[in-house]
Amino acid sequence: MSMELLPNRDIEYADFKIIFRSYARGSQMPFHTDPAPRLSIVVFGELEEHTLQYSARAHPFSVVAKPEGITHRNRFGSRGARLVSIVFEEETFLPLAEAAGLPAWQWFHSWEAARESVQLLIAINNEADEKEVKEKTIQLMASLLPERPVKQKTPPLWLQYIAERVEENCHENLLVQGLAEEAGVHPVYLARAFRKHYGCSVKEYQHRQRLQRSLNHLASQEASLSHLAYDFGYADQAHFSRTFKREAGLSPGQFRELLRKIN
């Protein structure tokens, strides 16, 4: 899938607006501040964002919460990028952000955030009224949770290794017993430690990673659904389609069609 610079587009509502912006491949934006707080969703391409203190890389359906006044710069990937942003008035954004417990600036890459982003894009594409679009935006903000509880200690290095192993090999048939053997710990200890630090079982974590990566590939590649099903360890295309639709609310084919309309 190639990225041509598509026209900018704005949809105005009473308390906020939706803006569509495209960025050329390899382009850069110097340090700047946005004039209003926003949530931004990457719907195509990749980018790097750097503030004065932190850096982040974003891919399709990464989401950033960005208050007004955050100084940052951007570098866009080899295919460019397309972003959809919900731009708020400050007095509208602050109560929502505080209620959701959002930090000053952060990118989120979870399956939950991607799933709620898809639901918001469906509402926008269907020309839903302001009340429904705002409802979907609230659901998206509520999904922007840290990958582990704020008060939770950093996972030990061996457990971080296991999480990375699951992320990088989410298409494989990974078993807790095998992972525990790699880490040199008892399987029950690993399972309990993983749930404590990551808020879910190893299997559920792998399931989310598989869905997230399949969504990224659907957004950025023209590979056939059967090929993607094979790559991500599903039994066949039908299994992949059923699982994706159950979790995302639309089939892989419908998802691609939505992106064509959005883009």
Domains and CATH numbers, the chain: 9-143 (2.60.120.10), 157-262 (1.10.10.60)
Helices H / strands E in the chain, number of each = 10, 8
Hey, CA dihedral for 196, 201, 206, 209, is it positive or negative? negative
**Residue whose C-alpha is closest to residue 64's, from 104, 30, 26, 111:** 104
Which pLDDT score is estimated for 2?
A: 43
Low-confidence ranges of the chain (pLDDT < 70): 1-6, 103, 145-152
Residue pair 11/124 in contact by the 8 Å Cβ criterion: yes
- Provide CB contacts within 8 A for 69, sequence distance 6+: 33
The pLDDT value recorded for residue 3 is 45
Do residues 110 and 143 lie in contact, with contact meaning Cβ atoms separated by under 8 Å?
A: yes
Tokens of 195: 């749930």
Angle between helices 111-125 and 202-220 (to 10 degrees): 40
pLDDT tens, residue by residue, 148-160: 444 457 899 999 9
Q: For the chain, where are the E strands, in sequence order?
A: 9-12, 16-23, 28-32, 38-51, 55-58, 63-66, 72-88, 106-108
Q: What is the Cα gyration radius of the chain? A: 19
Residue 6 confidence (pLDDT): 63
pTM: 0.84
39 dihedral zone (left: phi>0; alpha: psi -120 to 50; beta) = beta
